[in-house]
Copies of this chain bind each other. A is one copy, B any other.
Amino acid sequence: MNMAGIDAMCPERLLMEHVTSRWGTLVLIALLDRAHRFSELRREIGVVSEKMLAQTLRTLERDGLVHRDAKPVIPPRVDYSLTVLGHEAAEQVRGLARWTERRMAAVERAREAYDATRP
């Protein structure tokens, strides 16, 4: 265990991987805006397979970050929203996302400088 209390395979790291996973981040950020139906999330996220979206939502629901509200109607309607816990997670993730936006240009300059100095 290192100084931050996070090691390679501790429970905290697994939770962190759920919220920072490719689809986890996009789901959390989309839900930070408002509740979404399954198909709305698919459209908003862009290209994501049904399987991965369903799997991601189930993981986040199990962790208590996302609330699933399945209405007993035909055709089915399922709404996903953030819990209080999920809202906190989403804000952390959004902070990271916003940082990447602010600093993307600087990072790309750094890459060009790095690449320019070698084969």
Contact = CB atoms under 8 A, between A and B. Distances in A.
Contacts of A2: 26, 29-30, 44-46
B110 A62 contact: yes
Contacts of A69: none
Interface of A: 1-8, 11-13, 15-17, 19-20, 22, 25-26, 29-30, 32-33, 44-48, 61-65, 85, 88-89, 92-101, 103-104, 106-111, 113-115
Contact of A30 (B3, B16, B99, B108): B3
A89 to B, nearest CB: 7
Residue of A8, A65, A95 with most chain B CB atoms under a 10 A cut-off: A8
Which applies to chain A's interface (DSSP): helix, strand, loop or mixed? helix
B3 A29 contact: yes
12 contacts: A2-B45, A3-B33, A4-B30, A8-B22, A12-B97, A13-B100, A16-B96, A20-B20, A63-B107, A64-B113, A88-B99, A89-B99
Nearest to A17: B22
A65 B64 CA distance: 33
